[in-house]
Structure 1
Amino acid sequence: MKALILLISIIPSFAFACYCGDEPVERKVADSDFIFIGVIVESYIDSEKTIHNKLEIQDKIKGEADSIWLTNETLETSTCGQLTSVGMRYLVFGEKGTPLSLSSCTYTQALHVYGLKGLNEVQEAVNKARQ
C-alpha cells in the first residue's frame, strides 16, 4: 500500500491533465452545427505560439461550415496540444460563431483517430438525426 501511495505521489500531475472522457457519437453530432472532413493546406504560428491551420473541405457531412481555420496550441505551451501538419486530414466538428480548435479534448481530431469505423458511426448518427 505504501508503495502505491508513493508511486501516485511521484507521478506528475500533468500526466492526467488531458483525460477528457469520451462522448457518445450521437452527442458529438447533436452538439455540432456542422461536420466535415478537411485537410490542412496552410499553417503558421503567431507570436502567442498558437498554430493557425487553414483547412480545405473535402467532404461535407453535416451543415455548412462558417470557418475553415483550425487553431491549436503548440506542445510547448499546452500539455493537451496536438501535432498538426500540412496534408493531415481531420474530422472537424463545429458550432456556428465559435472558432474551430484542436486539443486532446475537442471532438475535432485527426481522421486516423476516428478511423473508418468511427467515421461510419458519425455518418450513421447524422442520418439518424435527420429522420
Structure 2
Amino acid sequence: MPTYSRVFEAHGQAEEMAAFAAVLWKERMADLKARKLVTSGRVRIVDRYVRALTEYEFLYPQAMAEGPTLQAESGGQFANMRWHAVGKLNEQIMKFEAALAIPAKHDEGDAPAPPRPKSKASRYLD
C-alpha cells in the first residue's frame, strides 16, 4: 500500500486524507482480489484512483460552497479554480472506474427502468 501520509502531507487535512485514502485502497484492492482482476497495471490505476477520489471528496464541499465564480476585491468576478478542479477530478475518476471495471450496480441488481409515459400510440407500440 502506498504511504498516503507522505502523498497528502502538504494538505491542510493531511491525516484525515491519508486515513480516507488508506481505507479506500483496502476496499478497492479487496474488490479486485474478490473478482480476480489484480494485475500490476490495475494496482497502479487503483493508486491513482484513490489519490483522485480522496482529493475530490475533500475538495468538493469547499468548491460547492464557493460556487463556480468568486468575487474579486475590485468587484469583478473570476473563475473558481476549485470548482473546475472538482469537475476534472470527476472526469478522471469515471475513467479510472471504467479501467478498473468497478460495477455501477447494486448487489440487488440493476435498478428497474422508469415507466414510459403513455401516449396515443402506446397501444400500438406495446
TM-score bracket for the superposition, by shorter chain length:
under 0.3
The structure with more strand, counted as a fraction of residues: 1
Rg larger for: 2
TM-score, normalised to structure 1's length? Answer: 0.26
Question: Which structure carries more relative contact order (alpha carbon 8 Å, separation 6+)?
Answer: 1
The structure with more helix, counted as a fraction of residues: 2
